[in-house]
Amino acid sequence: MNFDFNETQTMFRDMVRDFAKQEIAPIAQQMDEEGTMPDELIAKMAANGFFGLSFPEQYGGLGVDTITYALVIEELAKASAGVCVMLTVHNSVGSYPLAMYGSEEAKQKYLPRMAAGEIAAFCITEAGAGSDAASLAATAQKDGDEYVLNGGKIFVTNGSRAAFYVVMARTPGTTGHKDIHAFIVERGTEGLSVAKKEDKMGLRASDTVSIDLEDVRVPASHLLGNEGDGFRIAMSALDGGRIGIAFQALGIGQACLEEAIKYGKVREQFGKPLTRQPVIGNMIADMGTELESARLMGLKAAWLKDEGRSFSKQAAMAKVMATEAAGRAADSALQIHGGYGYCKEFAVERYYRDVRVTRIYEGTSEIQRLVIARQLVSEF
Ligand SMILES: Cc1cc2nc3c(=O)[nH]c(=O)nc-3n(C[C@H](O)[C@H](O)[C@H](O)COP(=O)(O)OP(=O)(O)OC[C@H]3O[C@@H](n4cnc5c(N)ncnc54)[C@H](O)[C@@H]3O)c2cc1C
């Protein structure tokens, strides 16, 4: 067993760390306040290949392995969790279904554009279908060489900026997961419109919107996989996506740890710095220990994926562990900052808001535990 990263993994991590420090961290607070992300930043990230991280070089991507991808996500999240979620949704659930299951025609047409910075979004959640995604009601009616989509999607990350939407919809009149199909739909297709934008607690740089689909016609070549594969495609995209969310949470948690130490070294009470007060030292030790154990679990899930082995249980375990450890780290970091931690002047206030959703999206902690328990029970 070898715990060292290889040369490519280290090179990518360091390159993204430098980029994030120079280009993202200085404007993270401003993006949070304004609730948006500058187009110039998106263009710079595209020029550095951030939009084609995981898909093959033949389509304009960088084709990095999952471990490299995880390291990149952690570095981005340390600087801005909002920028990070835009990229992780684009690279995992947004473009992976097309890269893995798209027709050659659709891959050649769209993946190079995605790699060049045209953003992808993923639409499964509906008002009546959240954790129970298989109960989705949007419909896809076959009509000659086309499908006609109708319905409404909510909580679509990247929804107002996206050029492409992966949309899950079912044959009218069916229930359950077997008649769900996945499609790639281009922005500008008649009948697809962006509705309500959510006013969120955190991740404010990233947009989250509802999408309405009214008689949206897509060619049959935009079906991903075969008819009825939609739910399986969505679940396999989410398995990989969960590794990304685990590392997003770890990035926020690591930023909390570093800010807490920095602040604790200069803030003196009772005649000495906070970091030399045993109770604060214990909090720092727990933060570091929990984050490190979650990171190892996440890396194992990423390694299993790269080896082509089953990784669903480990991805769910890593997501639970990392998101909950990062939540505790944000709480401790804020506590170590005392009253200042409650003020927007200090970054921990933003981290505390940003980290909360990592226990909710791409499957809540409760749903991850269902997945883990189901697999464990079947193993023994
Ligand atoms: C900022 C943000 C971005 C998002 N981005 C996207 C996106 O890009 N694309 C997309 O499709 N979706 C997206 N989502 C949706 C997200 O994946 C869902 O919110 C999530 O899956 C939970 O669904 P829900 O909100 O409907 O909660 P519900 O399913 O209604 O759950 C409510 C509560 O009940 C619990 N619960 C439900 N069922 C069970 C059970 N059987 N046992 C125990 N507890 C249970 C849940 O864990 C949760 O605590 C996003 C959400 C947010 C907030």
Over its length of 380 residues, how does the chain's per-residue pLDDT go in tens digits? 889 999 999 999 999 999 999 999 999 999 999 999 999 999 999 999 999 998 899 999 999 999 999 999 999 999 999 999 999 999 999 999 999 999 999 999 999 999 999 999 999 999 999 999 999 999 999 999 999 999 999 999 999 999 999 999 999 999 999 999 999 999 999 999 999 999 999 999 999 999 999 999 999 999 999 999 999 999 999 999 999 999 999 999 999 999 999 999 999 999 999 999 999 999 999 999 999 999 999 999 999 999 999 999 999 999 999 999 999 999 999 999 999 999 999 999 999 999 999 999 999 999 999 999 999 999 99
Query: Mutate which of 122, 125, 320 to test ligand 1's pocket (most atoms within 8 Å of Cβ)?
Result: 125
Ligand 1 atom 4: residue of nearest CA: 155
**In this structure, what token pair is assigned to residue 375?**
């697999």
Q: Name the 3-class secondary structure at 338.
A: helix
The residues assigned a catalytic role are 362
Cβ within 8 Å of residue 122, ≥6 positions away: 89, 93, 94, 97, 156, 157, 165, 166, 234, 237
With residue 156 as reference, give the H or E element that holds it. strand 146-157
Which spans in 137-227 are helix H?
none
* Ligand 1 pocket, CB under 6 A: 89, 122-125, 130-131, 155-157, 200, 203, 208, 357, 360-364, 366-367
Q: What is the pLDDT of residue 314?
A: 97
CA distance 94 to 115: 12
Give the residue among 71, 62, 75, 55 at the shortest CA–CA distance from 4. Answer: 71
Classify the phi-psi angles of 126: left when phi > 0, otherwise alpha if psi is within -120 to 50, otherwise beta: beta
Atom index in ligand 1 nearest the CA of residue 366 equals 47
**In this structure, what token pair is assigned to residue 167?**
């949309």
CATH of domain 232-379: 1.20.140.10
Given the DSSP bridges, would you call strands 268-269 and 272-273 parallel, antiparallel or unpaired?
Answer: antiparallel
Q: What is the pLDDT of residue 230?
A: 98
Q: Name the 3-class secondary structure at 358.
A: helix
Ligand 1 atom 48: residue of nearest CA: 364
Which spans in the chain are helix H?
7-19, 25-34, 39-47, 66-79, 81-89, 96-101, 104-115, 230-266, 278-306, 312-336, 347-356, 365-379
Atom index in ligand 1 nearest the CA of residue 124 equals 11
Give me the residue spans of the domains in the chain: 7-115, 120-230, 232-379
Domain 120-230 in CATH 2.40.110.10? yes
Ligand 1 atom 20: residue of nearest CA: 361
Class of the 7-115 domain? mainly alpha
CA distance 166 to 95: 8
Give the residue among 375, 230, 379 at the shortest CA–CA distance from 317. Answer: 375
Q: What is the pLDDT of residue 54?
A: 86
Ligand 1 atom 7: residue of nearest CA: 156
Q: Ligand 1 mean position to 6 CA, how many Å?
A: 36
**In this structure, what token pair is assigned to residue 169?**
């919809």
